[in-house]
Structure 1
Amino acid sequence: MDDSGSQSRQTVADSNSGQPQWGWPTTTGMSVVLTGSSFLAGILIGHKLATFYRRILSLVAVGPTKMALVVREDLKMGKGKIAAQCSHGTLLAYQKMTRLNPQVLQSWEDSGQPKVVLRATDLQHLTLLSDMAVAKGVPVTTVYDAGRTQVAKGTSTVLAVGPAKVADVDRITGNLKLL
């Protein structure tokens, strides 16, 4: 206890710098730390809320979205090859949409990136679907194989339709069977 009757914590000065090694922070130092921390927390929370609201508005403005991956049946690709080609299609379509329409892409991401894998009978069928999508303004991406495993180099293997509004994708691929 000090002379005023209140408890205080003593500090021990460092012999080299004269600065306290431990003790209670000063009131001024404490308020600066709290004010700075509160300010930074406010900025962080504000940014997170703004991002959250921007994403909600994107979902509402765009509506439900999806991507359809259409695989050629006539190539008789193995399951692993199909999975790899569909992965290529998804990534290529994603990269394309970052430039073409980031708002639709954000809506697709925020809704869980829904995808469906469907069948096309052959190259003519895939080309027809691609032409239909282009005519209706729906983004499409074609995957051409590198030719290292099961199919010849440059072979069109998968057509990614979207991401786009569900109704738009369904107008192009709605009559196709699931793979």
Structure 2
Amino acid sequence: NSPSFVTMEGTEQSDSQEVNAVYLQQLRELDIPEEAAKQALLHTRNVSAEEAAMYYFNKLENEEEGDDDLIFKMVFVVNMDLSMGVGKVATQVGHAAVGLYQVLQEKNSWREMAWKWDHTGSKKVVMQGSNTAHLLELQALAMSLSLPTYLVQDAGQTQAEPGLHTVLALMGEEELLNNVTGSLQLL
């Protein structure tokens, strides 16, 4: 059995170069974008998925700190005062993600932020919020920093009363967003 390879056309070094498909799949499972994974494998001569992953992550760390290199993340703050079940929390976080993504379409700068977020790993974090007042306080702080937010109000069809604030979704450049949610505990 010979290893299977994926061919890349039109590279600088030759008309086609082969990338080990097994290693490529392993890199994709690490959430490394396909083209970046292929390039990492080519640069490390298909030695192993580990070598390529190390190359990729070292390259990310060593990139110059410019505006184009900012990392964006999406944060979901769950209202822990409501004692929602796991399924309910998952549903509410889903509502928050969709709602925030719709909000991001309202301004050019936010659309650009969503694009950069999507192309830099789509980082998402779920945190614990104390209660409704806490969620509203965090939202106000985020808005004062011009960060997009979306606050889910439950329809009241299952576990929560209608109109309760269940999850706050926020997005922004990681360091700026940490000023709002950095002290919260992970869910």
TM range (shorter): 0.5 to 0.7
Structure with bigger gyration radius: 1
Segments of structure 1 that go 5 or more residues without pairing to the other structure are 1-58
2:106 & 2:79 partners in 1: Cα distance? 27
Q: Segments of 4+ in structure 1 off by > 3 A? A: none
Residue type of the alignment partner of 2:176: D
2:36 is matched with none
The answer to whether 1:115 aligns with 2:124 is yes
- Matched residue type, 1:167: E
TM-fit CA distance, 1:60:
5.3
Is the counterpart of residue 78 in structure 1 residue 85 in structure 2? Answer: yes
Amino acid at match of 2:101: Y
Q: Aligned-pair distance for 1:62?
A: 6.2
| Aligned length in residues | 120
- The 8 Å contact of residues 103 and 149 in structure 2, kept in 1 or not, is answered as no
Q: How high is the TM-score relative to the length of structure 2?
A: 0.62
Distance across 1 between alignment mates of 2:69 and 2:137: 26
Q: 3-state SS of the aligned residue for 1:74?
A: helix
Read off the aligned partner of 1:175 and give its amino acid letter: S
Alpha-carbon distance in 2 for matches of 1:63, 1:99: 21
Corresponding position of 2:105 = 98
Residue aligning to 1:166: 174
Which string of whole-angstrom CA distances, capped at 9 and with x for unpartnered residues, describes residues 25-60 of structure 1?
Answer: xxxxxxxxxxxxxxxxxxxxxxxxxxxxxxxxxx95
Secondary structure at the aligned position of 1:169 is classed as: helix
Q: Which has the higher strand share?
A: 2
Return 5+ residue gaps in structure 2 as ranges: 1-65
Distance (whole Å) between structure 1 residues aligned to residue 89 and residue 152 of structure 2: 11
TM-score normalised by structure 1 residue count: 0.64
Structure 1: distance between partners of 2:69 and 2:168: 23
Higher-RCO chain (CA-CA 8 Å, sequence separation at least 6): 1
Q: CA RMSD in A?
A: 1.4
1: CA distance, partners of 2:81 / 2:122: 28
**Alpha-carbon distance, 1:173 to partner:** 0.0
Residue type matched to 2:113 in 1? V
Matched, 1:155 2:164: yes
Closer, same or farther: CA 140–62 of 1 in aligned 2, 3 Å: farther
